[in-house]
Structures are given as structure tokens and as C-alpha cells.
Amino acid sequence: MKMETVRLGRTNIVVNRNGFGALPVQRVNMEEAKVILKKAYDNGITFFDSARAYSDSEEKIGEALSEVRQKIYISTKTMATTVTDFWKDLETSLSLLKTDYIDIYQFHNPSFCPKPGDGSGLYEAMLEAKKQGKIRYIGLTNHRLHVAREAVECGLYDTLQFPFSYLASKKEEELVDLCKEKDVGFICMKALSGGLIDRSDAAYAYLAQFDNTLPIWGIQKESELDEFIEYNDNPPIMSEEIKAIIAHDQKELSGEFCRGCGYCMPCPMGIEINQCARMSLMLRRAPSAGWLSEHWQEEMKKIENCINCGKCMSHCPYGLNTPELLKKNYEDYKTFFK
Ligand code: SF4
Ligand code: SF4
């Protein structure tokens, strides 16, 4: 196997360029998850990313991979905002992952960048956990560019996890370069932009141009895993065909579109914003039949109930005018349906 590897900045962790994002394994049962996770390991994937917030994802990793714990790297996350919750989360993660240490422990999308002396006590708790040997490196995940930049610039974080794909803006590419300059590992989430990118080879080839980025592909099915395993032996390169796909998608998906991250949820009126606000794109980029089902017709109709409270908009890390976007998508949906 001649697989490509990535060095995660100052952690000096070197792993296969295909990391495993364990959010989607929540949606399959334990047996299926174990098969997928073990197969990933058997085929050279050694980096697994989870989170306390991903229901039983940590438990599935623990069940599937505890026997090879020393040979893999695990990153997980806490959304704790208090020191008490921080320790509760850490102990729960350790126990579910069936391990006594976590390689990279990350603050999960905090609204600010925790630092020593900021009064939250969170960064101090990280340091204490490190001292106790329960975690090896300190990381932060975020969707907000300013929090991410602060984490990289302050020198307190070993890794940053941030959305990054070939639909990224110049500012996001600069963030990757900044990580390289500061020797901070860049763990890249949403490399397929929440399902909008359907060519994983193009996604892979784009990211491979940045030698410090480690994509963690969200994998739920064995067929998806097989695609990435194939890249161990035949890593996609930036061919003319792939360049053309990327240029086409960048043109079609430039500007203000919903990435489906869900940070604007829940909506008090029960609108499934993270799907409904990008329905026009999904209808045209994925097989449309599923999106025209009775279920989705009902979900889209809920947009009529939007009370314009603005809650979604204030939480959108991409600064989208979400209520307006929803209405545009609804109008388009009705036209498409006809
Ligand atoms: S503005 Fe509309 S869509 Fe957004 S949270 Fe409020 S009710 Fe929901
Ligand atoms: S509207 Fe914004 S916060 Fe909500 S899912 Fe889309 S990109 Fe994410």
C-alpha cells in the first residue's frame, strides 16, 4: 500500500490522508458500524474523529477498535461551557471509547476561543487533563473564521478543525496557510460540503494540494468507505477533468448558499432549516425524486409558518439571511414541483 500521509502540525501525528469522520456512524446499528470501522482500520485508516455530541459514535469506536487502541489516533470533542461539564464529558468519552487517553481533545465549536485567565476555567481544565495524561493534545473546532484565526494565532492550540473544501473562499485558504506557518494541524471537516460535492476524487485532489490538511470523511456506508480505500493505492490527482469539475462547481455554488451545518437549529416553528434552505441545490445536484416526496413537501410547507424571529440568522456562521433564503427555496420548490 503506497498511501499518502499527512503530518498534523506540531502534534507530529502522521496518518493516512483519509481520516474517518465518525458523525454518520450514529445512523447505523452497532454491528454495521463495527464492520465499517474495522474495515477502515484494516485498510490503513488510523485517524478517527468523534464528539460527545454525536450520540453513540464514541461507543461504536470503542467497541470496534479498543483492541488496536495503541495503533490508532482518536480525536473527540466537548461542548462543555463549565469546568464541571468538561470533566464529566471527558470521563464519559474515555469510558465509551474504552481508553485511558484521547489523542486530541477539542473544544466543539465554542462561540469564543478559550484561553487561560478568561474566567471560564476551560483552558485550565484542558491543561490539567493533559497533565493527568488523559489527553495528549489540545484542539478547537469551529465554523467561525474569527474564532478559528484567534485559536491559531494565540499559540495555545495544537490543531484546528474547520470546514474546508474546494468551495472555500480565499479567506479560508489563508487560514490553512496560517496553520502551516504556525505549525498547527488542520483537520478538515465538510470536505464534501455537506453533500453538495458529489465527486470525492475531486475533493481529495483539491485538498491534497495543501499538505497540512487532514480530511475526515463522514462515512456511513461501506460503499463510501471503499471509495476512500481505493485512494490508498490510486490517490486522485489534479487532472484536467478534475480541474473542470471544480471550476464548474465553484461557479455554480459561489456566494451565499447554505452548507447544511445545522448551527441555526432548532427552529421554534420546527422548520428543518439545514435541508430546506438549500433545497434548490439539492434538487439539481442530487437525484431529485427523494426531495419531492410527501415528507419533504410537508417539511417545505412549514416555511409558510416562519415568524421571522431571526434566531436562525443570528446563529448562521456564514452570515446568511436564512429566513429569506428559505422563502426563495420554497418558491423555487413549488415551481420545480409543477
Ligand atoms: S426566522 Fe423563521 S426559520 Fe428562522 S428560526 Fe425563526 S421561525 Fe425559524
Ligand atoms: S442557514 Fe447557515 S447555520 Fe443554517 S444550516 Fe445553513 S449554513 Fe448552517
Which of 137-141, 252-256, 259-263 has the highest average model confidence (pLDDT)? 137-141
Confidence of residue 76 (pLDDT cuts 50, 70, 90): very high
Residue 110 lies in a domain: yes
Ligand 2: nearest atom to the Cα of 316: 3
Query: Is the same domain home to 191 and 316?
Result: no
Cα-to-centroid distance, 78 and ligand 2 (Å): 21
Query: Is the same domain home to 185 and 63?
Result: yes
Cα-to-centroid distance, 329 and ligand 1 (Å): 14
User: In testing the pocket of ligand 2, which one of 109, 169, 261, 309 has its CB within 8 Å of the most ligand atoms?
Assistant: 261
Ligand 2: nearest atom to the Cα of 325: 1
Query: Is the same domain home to 195 and 280?
Result: no
Say which CATH number the domain at 109 has.
3.20.20.100
Q: For position 106, what pLDDT does the model report?
A: 98
Residue 42 lies in a domain: yes
Query: Is the same domain home to 296 and 330?
Result: yes
Query: Is the same domain home to 230 and 306?
Result: no
SS3 137: strand
User: In testing the pocket of ligand 1, which one of 278, 309, 313 has its CB within 8 Å of the most ligand atoms?
Assistant: 309
Nearest residue (CA) to ligand 2, atom 8: 261
Residue 74's alpha-carbon distances to 21, 138, 216, 253, 332, in angstroms, are 10, 12, 12, 33, 43
Residue 328 lies in a domain: yes
In short, whether 263's Cβ falls inside 6 Å of ligand 2 is: yes
Residue 230 lies in a domain: yes
Give the pLDDT mean for 98-114: 96
Residue 331 lies in a domain: yes
Give the pLDDT mean for 133-154: 95
Is pLDDT of 1 > 60? Answer: no
**Residues in the ligand 1 pocket, defined by CB under 6 Å:** 267-269, 271, 273, 306-312, 322-323, 326
Query: Is the same domain home to 97 and 23?
Result: yes
Specify the number of domains making up the chain: 2
Nearest residue (CA) to ligand 1, atom 6: 309
Query: Is the same domain home to 187 and 111?
Result: yes
Confidence of residue 132 (pLDDT cuts 50, 70, 90): very high
Per the CB < 8 A criterion, the answer to whether 253 and 56 are in contact is no
Alpha-carbon radius of gyration of the chain: 20
C-alpha cell at 61: 469506536
Q: Amino acid identity of 208?
A: A
**Residue at a domain's end among 195, 215, 248:** 248
pLDDT digits (tens, 9 = 90+) for 307-336: 999 999 998 878 899 999 999 999 999 998
Ligand 2: nearest atom to the Cα of 260: 5
Q: For position 256, what pLDDT does the model report?
A: 79
Query: Is the same domain home to 204 and 307?
Result: no
Average pLDDT of the chain, as a whole number: 94
Query: Is the same domain home to 244 and 281?
Result: no
Residue 268 lies in a domain: no
Residue 175 lies in a domain: yes
Query: Is the same domain home to 37 and 161?
Result: yes
In short, whether 259's Cβ falls inside 6 Å of ligand 2 is: yes
Query: Is the same domain home to 160 and 223?
Result: yes
Per the CB < 8 A criterion, the answer to whether 172 and 238 are in contact is no
Which of 2-16, 82-96, 254-268 has the highest average model confidence (pLDDT)? 82-96
Give the pLDDT mean for 238-263: 87
Ligand 1: nearest atom to the Cα of 310: 1
Give the pLDDT mean for 185-206: 91
Nearest residue (CA) to ligand 1, atom 7: 306
Is pLDDT of 287 > 80? Answer: no
Cα-to-centroid distance, 108 and ligand 1 (Å): 24
**Residue at a domain's end among 248, 283, 307:** 248
> CA-to-CA distance for 157 and 13, rounded, in angstroms?
14
Q: For position 40, what pLDDT does the model report?
A: 97
Query: Is the same domain home to 291 and 241?
Result: no
Residues spanned by the domain of 292 = 273-335
E strand map for 8-85: 14-16, 19-21, 47-49, 73-78
The H or E element spanning position 70 is none
Q: Amino acid identity of 1?
A: M
Residue 262 lies in a domain: no
